[in-house]
Structure 1
Amino acid sequence: MRNSNIELLRIVSMVLIAMFHFSVHGTWPEGGPLASDTAVEMLSFGGKIGVNCFVLITGYFMVHGHLKVQSLLRIALQTWFYSFAILAIFAIAQPDLITPDRLRKAVTPITSGEYWFITCYLALMVTSPFLNVLYRHLTDDGRRRLMIIGFVVLSAIPTITIYNPIGSDLVWFFYLYLMGGWLRDRPLWTRRGNACALAAGVLFVWASMAAIGWAQRAFGFDYVLPDYFIWQYMVPTFAASLGLFSLFAEWKMPPIRWVNTAAKGALGVYLIHDNPIMRAWLWPHLVWVYALGPAAILAMGVLSGIVVYAVGTAIDLARIRLLERPIMGWIRGHWGVLMLEADAISNCTQPPNSHPLC
């Protein structure tokens, strides 16, 4: 049985990501009122919290689990399906949106970076057996030191100095994956501490957006942009991510069928709405809300996130029922034994001398 508290976090995280895309991919006018520009910036904050939570969830469940080749295959097939399907639809409906660069990325969506998250996430999944070995062989004190060193190098230094010594989303995913497992074994804060971390992170970033935006207009300040603190490895965003994740992880929620069902479409929602061709069509349709002021911008951003999730989930659940289940059933029927052997090798579950990586 799925944990409905974690499944609800998947839904919330994807809604936050859709709101982020509403903010950063909208064709907003330049030189508008400060309040309206700040409202647009405020909607961007939750996206990177959502990304962090997705990776923390993966580590939370997988650091003590096993990689399944079937899971990798399912994500790859899902990615190819949406990339090719959206390309075909717009090739007929609005071919002017298909630029040579978008066409190239659509044909090779995993390796081209069409979906940066998928590229990093699949690399994380492939690497997860090695991360699991590292985690299991560390003492509790060793894990604590690893988390502290990772925080200093990957989060604190980039936040304070505007210099990222690693500069890799994949390395950040490795750290979050291990952090997710560590939080399952040893919660970081109390419930009140988690709520404070979430609130403090959100309020700090929102306040910084308003302050930096004002300083830009008043003094020509150009050292950092108003959205400087929103990126996933920045201390305020990281703290807010840990707070939100831990609040949901500790929530004793009974199984709720609709939550568990709706959460199945989370990845599909991402693949549909953040496809480069789709977002070039989608978000410019909502730019009219800018003229209505900051309250309308915030309301439309939240509503857009919810609607995008609802529509995307409906589409993806239909895909799962009509395509994924029959195809995966056929694959298991023909290559099930081979996939089980691949699982055993990748996770080193055979006798130690049976494979050089074990």
Structure 2
Amino acid sequence: MRNSNIELLRIVSMMLIAMFHFSVHGSWPEGGPLASDTAVEMLSFGGKLGVNCFVLITGYFMVHSYLKVQSLLRVVLQTWFYSFAILAIFAVAQPDLITPERLRKAVTPITSGEYWFITCYLALMVVSPFLNVLYRHLSDEGRRRLIIVGFVALSLIPTVAARNPIGSDLVWFFYLYLLGGWLRDRPLWTRRGNALAFAGGVLFVWASMAVIGWAQRALGFSYIGPDYFIWQYMVPTFAASLGLFGLFASWELPPIRWINTAAKGALGVYLIHDNPIMRAWLWPHLAWVYALGPAGILAVGVVSGAVVYAIGAAIDLARIALLEKPLFDWIGHRFKGAFAAANRWMDRLGKTDSN
């Protein structure tokens, strides 16, 4: 039975990511009121927080498990399906949105960077057996030191230095994966500590957006932008991510069927709404929101995140029932022996002894 508390976090994280895309891909005017621009920036904060939580969830479950070939194949086929399907739909409905660059990315969605998260996530899945070996062969003290060194090198230094000299999205995913497993074995903070980390990180980032935005206009400040602290490895966002994850991980929520079902569509929501062709069509339709002022922008942004999730999840659950399940039933029957052998090999790989 799925953990409904973690599955609910998966839903919340994807809604935050959709709100981020509402903010960064919207058709907002230049030089608008500071309050309205700050409201737009505030909605962008949740995206990287959601990404962090998604990878922490992966490590939380997989660091003591092993990669199944079927799981990898599902993500690959799901990505291809939505990339090709959306391309085909808009080739008929609105072909002017299909630029040569978008066409190139749609044809090779995994390697072209059409979905940066999927590219990194698949790489993480492939490397996960080796990360599991590393995790299991470290003592508890060794894991603690790894987490501390990773924090300093990948989060603290980039935050203070205004540059990320050694990090990358994939390296950050590796770190979060190991951290997710560690948090399952050794919760970092109490529930109150998680709440303080989450609230403190959110309030700091939001306040920095307003202050930096004001300094840019009043003083010509240009060293960093208002969105400086939103990126996933920045200390305030990282702290808020750990707090949010910890709150949900410690929540003793009984199994709730609708949450577990809705969460199955989370990755599909991302693949649908953040497709480059789809987002070029979707977000300009909400340009009118800016005229509503800060409160209206925030309200519509939150509602948009919920609506995008509801529609995207409904589409993906239908795809699972009508296409994925029958296909994998056939594949599982046709290649049962091959899958079993590959999974046994993956299991042995993850249990490799250091001797």
Structure 2-normalised TM-score? 0.98
Do the aligned partners of 2:158 and 2:164 also contact (CA within 8 Å) in 1? Answer: yes
SS where residue 348 of structure 1 aligns?
Answer: helix
Partners of 1:320 and 1:164 lie apart in 2 by: 39
Do the aligned partners of 1:273 and 1:308 also contact (CA within 8 Å) in 2? Answer: yes
Partners of 2:112 and 2:294 lie apart in 1 by: 36
Which residue does the alignment assign to 2:305?
A: 305
Larger mean Cα displacement after TM superposition, 342-351 or 200-209: 342-351
Instruction: Give the C-alpha shift of residue 48 in structure 1.
Output: 0.4
Instruction: Give the C-alpha shift of residue 105 in structure 1.
Output: 0.4
SS where residue 348 of structure 2 aligns?
Answer: coil
Do the aligned partners of 1:91 and 1:98 also contact (CA within 8 Å) in 2? Answer: yes
Describe how 1:317-336 pairs up with structure 2 within 5 A. 317-336=317-336
Which residue does the alignment assign to 1:196?
A: 196
SS where residue 332 of structure 1 aligns?
Answer: helix
**Is residue 19 of structure 1 aligned with residue 14 of structure 2?**
no
Instruction: Give the C-alpha shift of residue 349 in structure 1.
Output: 5.5
**Is residue 42 of structure 1 aligned with residue 35 of structure 2?**
no
Which residue does the alignment assign to 2:128?
A: 128
Instruction: Give the C-alpha shift of residue 352 in structure 1.
Output: 6.6
The amino acid of 1:308's aligned partner reads: V
- How has the CA–CA distance of structure 1 residues 216 and 331 changed in structure 2, closer, same or farther, with 3 Å as cutoff? same
Which residue does the alignment assign to 1:291?
A: 291
**Is residue 146 of structure 1 aligned with residue 146 of structure 2?**
yes
Do the aligned partners of 1:344 and 1:350 also contact (CA within 8 Å) in 2? Answer: no
Partners of 2:94 and 2:215 lie apart in 1 by: 41
Instruction: Give the C-alpha shift of residue 167 in structure 1.
Output: 3.1
The amino acid of 1:133's aligned partner reads: V
Which residue does the alignment assign to 2:9?
A: 9
Describe how 1:96-245 pairs up with structure 2 within 5 A. 96-245=96-245
CA offset digits 1:75-98 (Å, max 9, x no partner): 000000000000000000000000
Do the aligned partners of 2:133 and 2:351 also contact (CA within 8 Å) in 1? Answer: no
Which residue does the alignment assign to 1:86?
A: 86
- How has the CA–CA distance of structure 1 residues 131 and 85 changed in structure 2, closer, same or farther, with 3 Å as cutoff? same
Partners of 2:122 and 2:352 lie apart in 1 by: 26
User: Over the residues paired in the alignment, what is the CA RMSD in angstroms?
Assistant: 1.4
Do the aligned partners of 2:63 and 2:131 also contact (CA within 8 Å) in 1? Answer: yes
Do the aligned partners of 1:72 and 1:125 also contact (CA within 8 Å) in 2? Answer: yes
The amino acid of 2:229's aligned partner reads: F
Instruction: Give the C-alpha shift of residue 343 in structure 1.
Output: 1.7
Following TM superposition, the consecutive aligned residue runs of length 4 or more in structure 1 with deviations greater than 3 angstroms are 349-353
SS where residue 252 of structure 2 aligns?
Answer: coil
Structure 1-normalised TM-score? 0.97
The amino acid of 2:57's aligned partner reads: I
Which residue does the alignment assign to 2:74?
A: 74
Partners of 2:272 and 2:242 lie apart in 1 by: 27
The amino acid of 2:266's aligned partner reads: A
Partners of 1:351 and 1:237 lie apart in 2 by: 34
SS where residue 113 of structure 1 aligns?
Answer: coil
Partners of 1:26 and 1:93 lie apart in 2 by: 21
Instruction: Give the C-alpha shift of residue 273 in structure 1.
Output: 0.1
Instruction: Give the C-alpha shift of residue 351 in structure 1.
Output: 9.6
Partners of 1:347 and 1:237 lie apart in 2 by: 34
CA offset digits 1:259-296 (Å, max 9, x no partner): 00100000000000000000000000001010110000
The amino acid of 2:130's aligned partner reads: F
**Is residue 337 of structure 1 aligned with residue 347 of structure 2?**
no
Instruction: Give the C-alpha shift of residue 161 in structure 1.
Output: 0.5
Partners of 1:262 and 1:183 lie apart in 2 by: 25
Which residue does the alignment assign to 1:95?
A: 95
Q: Note the residue ranges of structure 2 that are not aligned, 5 or more in a row.
A: none
Instruction: Give the C-alpha shift of residue 112 in structure 1.
Output: 0.6
- How has the CA–CA distance of structure 1 residues 91 and 224 changed in structure 2, closer, same or farther, with 3 Å as cutoff? same
Do the aligned partners of 1:4 and 1:256 also contact (CA within 8 Å) in 2? Answer: yes
Partners of 1:309 and 1:277 lie apart in 2 by: 18
Describe how 1:55-66 pairs up with structure 2 within 5 A. 55-66=55-66
- How has the CA–CA distance of structure 1 residues 13 and 33 changed in structure 2, closer, same or farther, with 3 Å as cutoff? same
- How has the CA–CA distance of structure 1 residues 351 and 100 changed in structure 2, closer, same or farther, with 3 Å as cutoff? closer
CA offset digits 1:216-266 (Å, max 9, x no partner): 000111100100000000000000000000100010000001000100000
The amino acid of 1:16's aligned partner reads: L
Partners of 2:192 and 2:279 lie apart in 1 by: 38
Do the aligned partners of 1:194 and 1:247 also contact (CA within 8 Å) in 2? Answer: yes
Instruction: Give the C-alpha shift of residue 348 in structure 1.
Output: 2.1
CA offset digits 1:18-54 (Å, max 9, x no partner): 0000000001000000000000000000000000000
Describe how 1:257-268 pairs up with structure 2 within 5 A. 257-268=257-268
